[in-house]
Structures are given as C-alpha cells and as structure tokens.
A and B are shown apart, each in its own frame.
Chain A
Amino acid sequence: MDTSLATEPLTPRDYKSDIKPVWCPGCGDFSVLGSITTALAELQLAPENVAVVSGIGCSSRIPAYANCYGFHGVHGRSLALGTGLKVARPELTVLVASGDGDGFSIGGNHFLHACRRNIDVTYIVMDNRVYGMTKGQPSPTTEPDWADSALAPSGTGLRPFHPLVIALASGANFVARAFSGDILGTAELITEAIRHEGFSFVEILSPCVTFRPDEREWRNMVHTASVEPTDDPSRAARRIMTDDGFNTGILYRGDRQAYTPLTADGTPADPAVFEQEFEL
C-alpha cells in the first residue's frame, strides 16, 4: 500500500488497488466498489486510516480491490472482525462488507448483535438474493418462488429475510437502501453512513447477472424514497415493511450514542492497556 503523503486531493481511483477484480462483467459489485472509493474520496480519508473487512463470497473480495487496509475474513464473521478492529483501533474508519448469504445466513447472529451494540462501523451488504460464488443457490433474501436453482427447483417456499427491518428492530442507528447501478447515489449514502455515528447499515441491491439475470431489471424498478429520513423507529419500520423493496435512500437516521468501551471506573478504555494484557 502506498502510504506516501498526498499533496493533491485523493480521487476515487486512488482508493482502488492494482488487483483486477474477478467478478463477472456486469456484476453490481463493480459499481459498489466504485461507490465505496467515491465515498472515501468525498471524505478525503487517508487510506492508512481506513480498513475494509469482509467475510466470504463474491462481494467479500472487495478488500483486495481497495487501496487501504483490508481483511478478508472467514464466512459470516465479517462483523465480528470489524467490531474487534473498531474497539481496538477506534481512530480507524471501519467498513464491513458482506453479501446476503454471508451476512444474513451464517452471519445473521453477528448482524443482530452488531446492530444492538451500535459500534461505530459502516456495514455494507451487497444483496443479490443468491449465493453466487457457490454457483447459484437460494440465499436468505431469495424470493420464495425463484425456481432457477438446481437446489430448489420449485423455489424454497420460504419467507425472505428482511434485513432493513431486522436492523431497525435490533438497534442499528442508520438504515439505508441503495442500488448499485446508481453509483453516485450509493456513494452519497455510504458517505452519510460513514459520517453518522454508531452502527450504520446500507443494503445495496447489487444484481448477480450470471445466476440472476432477471435482476438486470432492477434498474427499472428502483426509485428514490419520496419522504425525508426519519428518526422515529416505529415510523421507519412501517415504511420499510410496507414499501415495495425498491425504495432507495436513508430510511432511518437515529441519534443513539455509539458504543464506547469503558473501564471499571467509567472512563473510556485505552486500547494500549488491552494490548498490554495480551503481551506474551
């Protein structure tokens, strides 16, 4: 990583690594990478002060493609890693990246508790309603009647997981939905999510053009939320539960104070003290 001191403003390109993504051309995750790098450039965050942490799946390859610190973790554990990192290094901007399989299935429990703990991290989930990396199995957010999978030829018949309302009910401080095809609109939401104190959750509808070519149609289905963000969770919940799933924008912006680890006497914990405890 180039950590030389920049004299010129950083551009989105400066936050991209030299590694060429291996996603399928047309994949929404390319655009999400563009939105993340644009958000970082908008905020002019020094790459050495940013970390992108992920789990497993197509979307979780993102740390390799970003020019900042990164950690490609294990399946479903991106939030556990991100939480640990933020607590140990509170000065870092921590972005946690995941997909709908990684984040809501094996990682579902971490999701609930990350929302509840309200650590100041930004959680970006690229939701394509399918397990892409393992070749097209239904995920927790897949529609019950999606029948194009060899694993569930008649569809799963199961009610999809509703990440936004779960996040809200669990205590997330910022809840937004974006569409990958709107690169700058998504960058704006990620920028706001990073700025917002506490646990910020951005669900990005990100088409899988290989196993869900029907999702190319999302472009014609998304629409910007017609109402201002609310800080009233019950109002936000009603909106989220009754919208068509393609409403984009900030859907809830709370004011709960982010979690800060405290020592027994109530003062903020010093990470250096933790480090001493773990010294061999």
Chain B
Amino acid sequence: MSEATEITVVQMLARAYAIEREAQSRYADLADQMQVHNNTELAELFGKLAEIEGKHAAKIKSRTAGAELPYISPLAYRWPGAEAPENVDISVAHYLMTPHHALKMALAGEQRAVEYFQDLTDRAADPDARALAEEFVEEEREHVELVKKWLEKYPEPEEGWDEDHDPPVIQE
C-alpha cells in the first residue's frame, strides 16, 4: 500500500480547485485553437467544457466559506502524472477532430480525477480530509457518467476522418 499523506482539508480544497481551473484553462485553449482553424463545432464544445470546469471550480471555492486557499506554486503540486489529472492532452489535438474525440479526451480526464482522489482517500491520514476526498471521488464519478452519456450521441467516426483533400498547409 502507498504511503499515508498528511494532507489537510484546505490543502485538498486547494488542489481540487487547481485541478478544475487548469482543466478550464486547457479547454479554453483548445476552444481557441479550433476557432482559429474554423472547426466551430469543436470550438463550441471545448468552450462548453471550459464553462463546466469553471462552474466546478466555483463550487469548490464556495466551500471555503470565504477563507483564502493556501498558495501552491505551479511546480509544487507534484501531480502524479505529467500534469493536473483533468488536463486533457493538448498534443493529440487535430484541426479536424470531432466531438467524439473531444469527449473521449474529457472522459479520460475525469477518470484520472477519480483515480487521483481515490488515491487520496486511501492515503489521507486526517479523517476529515479522507471524507472530503471520498466526496470528490463521488463527484468525479458522476462527471464520468455524464461524459459517457454525452459521448453516446457521438459514435466513433469512420477511418479517414483526418484526411483533408484541400489542406490549409501543403508542402510546396
């Protein structure tokens, strides 16, 4: 079993808040990319995802009852993966990507968040922090189910979805 952690309730709230804010920022970046490349459907979808993450962040902030969350510098989080768990991988974006691809990315992000808080549930020494982590696990599981349901509307596109017969950049 992994080592116990001394994480406190406010530290966990700060981390949960950072996860949602980072995800919001990432989706906003992707919305911009898609808008620049005229994939308006995806621009709207990523914009919507950014909005949802912003609401999640606001909800977490509201739980602090006005108290300041501790400042943690970007590199001090030491996330278990390469980035904050809900951040979708920006490097797999494609200008012709479809809602199916975007929602698959979102689903993977929500699943990583479940794993992250499950790990804290297993390791948090403080009972209040553990209870909070359990709550976050449940919330993230709900998000997973919501994204799965959303994804049902968008079946996997056929092979060749990324072929562009009139590409915006072509070697000369």
In the complex, what's the smallest C-beta–C-beta distance from A39 to chain B, in angstroms? 8
CB of B97 within 8 A of CB of A25, answer yes
Give the interface SS of chain A, mostly helix, strand, loop or mixed: loop
CB of B79 within 8 A of CB of A25, answer no
Contact partner of B74 (CB less than 8 A), chosen from A20, A148, A184, A210, is: A184
Bound Cα distance A106, B21 (Å) = 41
Task: Decide yes or no whether A85 CB sits under 8 A from chain B.
Answer: no
Bitwise, B71-94 to A at CB < 8 A (1) or not (0) is 101110001001100000011111
Question: Within 8 Å CB of A162, what residues of B?
Answer: none
Contact partner of A30 (CB less than 8 A), chosen from B33, B35, B169, is: B33
CB of A135 within 8 A of CB of B169, answer yes
Task: Decide yes or no whether B95 CB sits under 8 A from chain A.
Answer: yes
Known A-B contacts A13-B25, A191-B75; the reply to A180 vs B95 at CB < 8 A is no
Bitwise, A115-130 to B at CB < 8 A (1) or not (0) is 0000000000000000
CB of B32 within 8 A of CB of A20, answer yes
CB proximity to A under 8 Å, residues B26-41: 29-30, 32-37
Question: Within 8 Å CB of B159, what residues of A?
Answer: none
In the complex, what's the smallest C-beta–C-beta distance from A224 to chain B, in angstroms? 12
Question: Within 8 Å CB of B33, what residues of A?
Answer: 20-21, 23, 25, 30
Bound Cα distance A254, B36 (Å) = 43
Task: Decide yes or no whether A185 CB sits under 8 A from chain B.
Answer: yes
Bitwise, A204-244 to B at CB < 8 A (1) or not (0) is 00010111000010010000000000000000000000000
Contact partner of A182 (CB less than 8 A), chosen from B25, B74, B82, is: B82
Bound Cα distance A56, B153 (Å) = 44
CB of B95 within 8 A of CB of A25, answer yes
Task: Decide yes or no whether A136 CB sits under 8 A from chain B.
Answer: yes
Bound Cα distance A28, B93 (Å) = 11
Question: Within 8 Å CB of B83, what residues of A?
Answer: 183-184
CB proximity to A under 8 Å, residues B149-172: 169-172
Question: Within 8 Å CB of A20, what residues of B?
Answer: 32-33, 35-36
Question: Within 8 Å CB of A136, what residues of B?
Answer: 171
In the complex, what's the smallest C-beta–C-beta distance from A92 to chain B, in angstroms? 22
**Closest A residue by C-beta to B37:** A25
B residues in contact (CB < 8 Å) with A: 21, 25, 29-30, 32-37, 71, 73-75, 79, 82-83, 90-95, 97, 169-172
13 CB contacts below 8 A, A to B, read: A20-B33, A25-B93, A25-B97, A26-B90, A42-B75, A135-B170, A136-B171, A181-B82, A183-B83, A183-B90, A184-B83, A209-B94, A219-B91
